[in-house]
Structure 1
Amino acid sequence: MLINADFTQRATVAAHDYDWVASSQPGVERVMLDRVGGERARATSIVRYSAGASFAPHQHSGGEEILVLSGTFADDDDSYPTGCYLRNPPGSSHAPSSPEGTVIFVKLWQMSADEQVKVRIDTRRPDAWQQEGNREVCPLHTSASETVSLVRLPAGGQMFSAIVENAEVLVLFGGLVEDGRHHKAGSWLRFPPGEYPQLHASTKGCTVYFRDGNLTGLSSKEAP
């Protein structure tokens, strides 16, 4: 299956264009933002659990990245409310569920094969954030190939100040504006190398998930 699989082209999915598709597990639906492969795919998705939905224990050979957008996500070791960020490294396993229901942002098969550390960050904590110029940044992950963070921009603040090598944005709160077009909360955008997106925060500012670096994920030898 190929969805927004050409990384040389811009890809955009607005919240009002979400196409919810039932997964193989009852009570779990997903919006496929990009996907390269079948069930074991390099994929970026919005996933919605109804109250009480769960998965049987399973392994993620290529690793899994999760940001809890709403509700509470439960894993083997704990429960994670809105704003929690998780990285489960390649080879890890878990039995996810949500007693009360949740919506999460999920990335699969997009980690380096040598990543080994399980990460849990509560982005609601004030000490998780740092000031960088006119923006606030919550660092989530940094490696030689990518940087992942949450970014808060003030009203009118520019998202980018130069040409991007690769970049991906999910609008969490507020909105981004580009040439009069408003990307509201829930909008997902991916930019190819060489583009200079003219994005700025709306009048109420915005908070985004931001990733730049090697967005294609694993090499051809490692791909599922």
Structure 2
Amino acid sequence: MLVNADFSRRAIVTPDDYQWVPSPQSGVERVMLDRLGGEKARATSLVRYAPESDFPEHPHPGGEEIFVLSGTFSEGDRHYPAGSYLRNPPGSVHQPASREGALIFVKLWQMKPDEKERVHIDTRDPSNWQPCGRRDICPLFYSGTEHVTLQRLQPGEPLFATEVTSAEWLLICGQLKTTDQTFEPGTWMRLPQGRYPDITAGSQGAMVYLKTGHLPDKPEEA
């Protein structure tokens, strides 16, 4: 299966574009944002857990990155509310579930094989944020060229101040705008190398999950 598989082109999915499809597990649905492969694939998705839904325990040979957007996401006896950022490295095993229901942003098979450490960051904790010019930044992960942050932008502030080697963003709240389009929360965009000065925060500002420098020229299927 190929979804937004040409990484040399801009890809965008807005909430109006969402197509929820069942996962192999009852009560769990997903929106495929990009995907290269079958059920075990290099993939970026939104995943929605109905209340009292779960997956059997399973491994992630290629690793898994998660940001909890709403509800509470659980792994065994560990419970992560909205605003939690998780990285489960290649070879890790977990049993995901949600008692109350949850919506999460998930990236699979996109970690380097030598990544070993589990990461959990509570982005609701003010101590995890730092000022940077007119914006506030919550660092989530950094390794080589890959840089993952949550950013709070002031109204009218550009998302990118300089050229980026590659970028991917998910709008958490507020608005982002270009000269001819306004993006609402839940919009996802993937960008190849280039300059994107026209992407700015709307009149109420914006909070954005932002990943840069992570896309290979020709991603391989998992």
TM-score range, shorter chain: over 0.9
SS at match of 1:161: coil
Change (3 A) 1:77 1:112: farther
Give the structure 1 partner of residue 4 of structure 2. 4
> CA–CA distance in 1 between the matches of 2:106 and 2:161?
27
Q: Does 1:104 align with 2:118?
A: no
Give the structure 1 partner of residue 124 of structure 2. 124
Q: Deviations over 1:115-168 (max 9, x none)?
A: 000001000000010000110000000001300010100111111122221000
Q: 8 Å contact 1:109–1:218 — kept in the other structure?
A: no
Give the structure 1 partner of residue 138 of structure 2. 138
Correspondence 1:1-224 to 2 at 5 A: 1-216=1-216, 220=220, 224=222
Q: Deviations over 1:95-121 (max 9, x none)?
A: 000010000000000000000000010
**1:16 shift after superposition:** 1.6
Q: Deviations over 1:44-85 (max 9, x none)?
A: 000000001100000000000000000000002410000000
> CA–CA distance in 1 between the matches of 2:193 and 2:214?
10
SS at match of 2:116: coil
Change (3 A) 1:216 1:50: farther
Q: 8 Å contact 2:164–2:213 — kept in the other structure?
A: no
Give the RMSD, CA atoms, in angstroms.
1.4
SS at match of 2:194: coil
> CA–CA distance in 2 between the matches of 1:74 and 1:135?
31
**1:214 shift after superposition:** 2.0
Residue type of the partner of 1:134?
Answer: R
Q: 8 Å contact 1:112–1:218 — kept in the other structure?
A: no
> CA–CA distance in 1 between the matches of 2:217 and 2:63?
11
Q: 8 Å contact 2:52–2:100 — kept in the other structure?
A: yes
Residue type of the partner of 1:14?
Answer: T
The total of aligned residue pairs comes to 222
Gaps of 5+ in 1: none
Change (3 A) 1:155 1:20: same
Residue type of the partner of 2:206?
Answer: C
Q: 8 Å contact 1:110–1:216 — kept in the other structure?
A: no
> CA–CA distance in 2 between the matches of 1:109 and 1:170?
18
> CA–CA distance in 2 between the matches of 1:193 and 1:142?
19
SS at match of 2:158: coil
> CA–CA distance in 1 between the matches of 2:163 and 2:133?
19
Post-superposition, which runs of at least 4 consecutive aligned residues in structure 1 deviate over 6 A?
none
TM-score by length of 2: 0.97
TM-score by length of 1: 0.96
Change (3 A) 1:218 1:68: farther
Gaps of 5+ in 2: none
SS at match of 1:9: coil
